[in-house]
Amino acid sequence: MNSSDKPSNWYRGQGHWADVPAENWLNWKWQLKNRITKVEQLEQYLELTPDEKAACYFSNQKLALAITPYFFNLIDVNDPNCPIRRQIIPHGGEMKTAPEELLDPVGEDGDMPVKGLVHRYPDRVLFLVTDRCASYCRYCTRSRLVSNAQDYNFHPEFESGLKYIEEHPEVRDVLLSGGDPLLLSNKKLDYLLGRLKAIPHVEFVRIGSRIPIFLPQRIDEDLCEIFKKHGPIWMSIHVNHPRECTQELYQATERLSFSGVPLGNQSVLLKGVNDDPDVMKSLVHRLLMMRVRPYYLYQCDLITGSRHLRADVRKGIEIIQHLRGHTTGYAVPQFVIDAPGGGGKVPINPDYVEEITDDEVIMRNFEGRQYRYPLVAGRKAVNIDAAPTPEPLLV
């Protein structure tokens, strides 16, 4: 992909489902009803490896198999290593639990004052409102509860969550997640957002959703009217690979933006998907064309059965180095590790600061050239590479 990578050239269409009437294809309920959920359906379109096939059968005990027809079309069915396939089709690695892996890798269950509401940071809460998604990502941090394959039996408790927020005036920011909140009906979303807007100390609501990527048809006028009515609402979407940026996603993000919903993107660093600086650069450029600000690049959590998808942390640092200074600043996400056990998000940055003395900061820029920034009034700033002999202190 290059500078001529315009949205009008991105993927669009019905692919394997070319014979389906357009009104069905564009109907989000048709997409959900016609999801691929079984080995026999998958095998109509691609040849599963024995390893994938075994993992598909195992998925009923771990995390359900479900793929919308729209998203399935993005898979290159002739490539067993396709980056879309790796995210969504079960892999034998899911059947093994490595010693470092955890069922609740970021320790959410221990921070729930009421079921489904995580209150970890002082001024904000995470409100889990459903355990369902349009498709299931094989590396999902909440595999323990989404799709209910592990008998977690999560039942969203709107009223007790809302009551908790009403009674805690320090909560100024509510993040709705799950599962995917945009799978709730318009009626339920309207009710929930209306109740939150009526709480005087809640300043705004954030929504974490992969629906625009799995099911862009869901982002219709009626849904956007609800967002306009109850804003300010911020949304974090979840795109991992540039191929997920289709013309349909472009239109969905446009509808959201024009409804006053600022958009950020959270990618998960995944081995064989996006652990490549050039792939990530293409992705962040496409995101900006969709008015989406790359926000976080997450190191994959230590979820059970995810070792085959977890990339080396050093690769994430290399990607940020490849972006910082080499492309638009807006395009550079923050690379973070969500500290195992509940420590929260910790920024992991390339090290540009070489030394801080009492007098100065010695640093390298994106080209590796060294500079000094004075901490003492009167000292001249110096580009060390250009002037190897440090300037004396001025008096």
Which residue numbers belong to the known binding site? Answer: 133, 137, 140
Please report, as residue ranges, which positions from 86 to 145 form the binding site for ligand SF4 (by CB under 6 A). Answer: 133, 136-137, 140, 142
> Is 345 annotated in the active site?
yes
In the set 140, 224, 245, 300, the catalytic residue is: 140
CB of 243 to ligand SF4, least distance (A): 17
> Is 281 annotated in the active site?
no
> Is 82 annotated in the active site?
no
Q: Name the residue nearer to ligand SF4 (CB basis): 85 or 142.
A: 142
> Is 137 annotated in the active site?
yes
> Is 132 annotated in the active site?
no
In the set 137, 224, 245, 300, the catalytic residue is: 137
Q: Does 269 bind ligand SF4 (CB under 6 A)?
A: no
In the set 12, 53, 120, 293, the catalytic residue is: 120
Q: Does 146 bind ligand SF4 (CB under 6 A)?
A: yes
> Is 224 annotated in the active site?
no
CB of 214 to ligand SF4, least distance (A): 7
Please report, as residue ranges, which positions from 196 to 215 form the binding site for ligand SF4 (by CB under 6 A). Answer: 210
Please report, as residue ranges, which positions from 41 to 80 form the binding site for ligand SF4 (by CB under 6 A). Answer: none
- The binder of ligand SF4 chosen from 69, 83, 161, 179 (CB under 6 A): 179
> Is 255 annotated in the active site?
no
- Name 97's Cβ contacts closer than 8 Å, sequence gap at least 6: 304, 305
> Is 142 annotated in the active site?
yes
Q: Name the residue nearer to ligand SF4 (CB basis): 84 or 382.
A: 84
In the set 206, 301, 307, 372, the catalytic residue is: 301
> Is 307 annotated in the active site?
no
Calculate the alpha carbon distances from 43 to 54, 174, 223, 372 in Å.
13, 42, 35, 61
Q: Which residues are part of a known binding site for [4Fe-4S] cluster?
A: 133, 137, 140
> Is 229 annotated in the active site?
no
CB of 145 to ligand SF4, least distance (A): 9
Q: Name the residue nearer to ligand SF4 (CB basis): 55 or 323.
A: 55
Q: Name the residue nearer to ligand SF4 (CB basis): 145 or 174.
A: 145
In the set 62, 132, 142, 206, the catalytic residue is: 142
Q: Does 298 bind ligand SF4 (CB under 6 A)?
A: no
Give the 3-state DSSP-derived string for the chain, with helices as H, strands as E and coil as C: CCCCCCHHHCCCCCHHHCCCCHHHHCCHHHHHHCCECCHHHHCCCCCCCHHHHHHHHHHHHHCCCCECHHHHCCCCCCCCCCHHHHHHCCCHHHHCCCCCCECCCCCCHHHCCECCEECCCCCEEEEECCCCCCCCCCCCCCCCCHHHCCCCCCCCCHHHHHHHHHCCCCCCEEEEECCCHHHCCHHHHHHHHHHHHCCCCCCEEEEECCHHHHCHHHCCHHHHHHHHHHCCEEEEECCCCHHHCCHHHHHHHHHHHHCCCCEEEEEEEECCCCCCHHHHHHHHHHHHHCCEEEEEEEECCCECCCHHHECCHHHHHHHHHHHECCECHHHCCEEEEEECCCCEEEECCCCCEEEECCCEEEEECCCCCEEEEECCCCCCCEECCCCCCCCCCCC
In the set 345, 352, 364, 379, the catalytic residue is: 345
Q: Which residues are catalytic?
A: 120-121, 124, 133, 137, 140, 142, 301, 338, 345
Chain positions contacting ligand SF4, by CB under 6 A: 133, 136-137, 140, 142, 146, 178-180, 210
